[in-house]
Amino acid sequence: MELSAFFKKHPSVAVAFSGGVDSSYLLSAAVKDAEKVHAYYGKSAFQPQFELADAIRVAKQLRVVLTVVEVDVLCCPQIVANPADRCYYCKKLLFAKILDQATKDGYDLLLDGTNASDDADDRPGMRALKELAVRSPLRECGLTKEEIRRRAKAAGLNTWNKPAYACLATRIPTGEPITKEKLERTERAENFLFSLGFTDFRVRMSGTAAKLQIPAAQMEKVLENRTALVQALKQYYSAVTLDLEARDDE
């Protein structure tokens, strides 16, 4: 099925919009082929501020109404406990809140940007989407990440080459309780690396230390900025370590 056919069948849609490449392309396709579109951004302690800024920018570019839905993920004991299937509980809460707001706004179909490259066996959050009857047109139409980036570039979306960005909670080891302080510490540390020009990296917690996971092409840049990195990150961590393996995607 082509996306255009999907939106012909479903002309009025709400889109769960993160500001990433997948949901940006989905939103642009909906604007092009659907009759009525509304975007919703789920704002929680797990998302850094720049993600909201990206979402607002793309929504303005596409001239789509964007509603920010506040979600208190830290009020859920199952999420805070940080089990292996934390993503299930988080997605269930996040999308339930968005769905509730979308329903109030007159939409009975909520879409998300899951694509055909996403492995359902490795993503417990997909179970939550299924339970809430959230549709994933990119996945249903067989669109892979590579194809979505190609189409997004052709559509003039400046997010076409944006690296995948998993939420801040993924920096905290499974089984270790999630707190607001840990999330804020992670965001401050990663913002500092962004300010130095690093991209597609992670600052993970390893006990009380920070473990930097950096793409292979940027390893030398770490050594060039070693002093600055240590001075900045030791405000938040007991030590700063470097994972010598190149960072893999989430």
- Whether 41 has a pLDDT exceeding 60, the answer reads yes
Residue 150 pLDDT: 96
- Whether 124 has a pLDDT exceeding 90, the answer reads no
Q: Return the residue matching tokens 């400046």.
A: 158
Residue 250 pLDDT: 44
In the chain, ranges of CATH 3.30.70 domains: 179-242
Q: Determine what percent of the chain is predicted with pLDDT higher than 90.
A: 90
- Whether 122 has a pLDDT exceeding 60, the answer reads no
Q: How would CATH label the architecture of 179-242?
A: 2-Layer Sandwich (3.30)
Q: DSSP labels for 34-90? A: -SEEEEEEEE-TTS-HHHHHHHHHHHHHHT--EEEEE--GGG-HHHHT--TTHHHHH
Residue 125 pLDDT: 83
Contact 204, 210 (CB under 8 A): yes
Q: How far apart are CA 159 and CA 152, in angstroms?
A: 8
- Whether 107 has a pLDDT exceeding 70, the answer reads yes
Q: Determine what percent of the chain is predicted with pLDDT higher than 70.
A: 97
- Whether 60 has a pLDDT exceeding 80, the answer reads yes
| β-strand partners of 41 | 68
- Whether 8 has a pLDDT exceeding 60, the answer reads yes
**Cα 80 to Cα 55, 92, 117, 132, distances in angstroms:** 26, 14, 28, 22
Residue 165 pLDDT: 84
Tell me 19's DSSP state: S
Residue 249 pLDDT: 47
Contact 159, 54 (CB under 8 A): yes
- Whether 197 has a pLDDT exceeding 90, the answer reads yes
CATH class of residue range 3-154: alpha beta
Walk across the sheet containing 110-111 and list its strands: 66-70, 36-43, 12-16, 110-111
**Cα 2 to Cα 5, 8, 102, 130, 238, distances in angstroms:** 5, 10, 25, 21, 52
For the segment 93-99, the average pLDDT, to the nearest whole number, is 97
- Whether 113 has a pLDDT exceeding 60, the answer reads yes
Convert the pLDDT of each residue in 201-239 to its tens digit: 999 999 999 999 999 999 999 999 999 999 999 999 999
Helices (H), the chain: 3-9, 21-33, 49-62, 77-80, 86-104, 125-131, 137-140, 145-154, 180-195, 219-224, 226-233
In the chain, ranges of CATH 3.40.50.620 domains: 3-154
- Whether 248 has a pLDDT exceeding 70, the answer reads no
Measured between its terminal Cα atoms, the distance across the chain in Å is: 28
Convert the pLDDT of each residue in 143-185 to its tens digit: 999 999 999 999 999 999 988 888 999 999 999 999 999 999 9
Contact 165, 34 (CB under 8 A): no
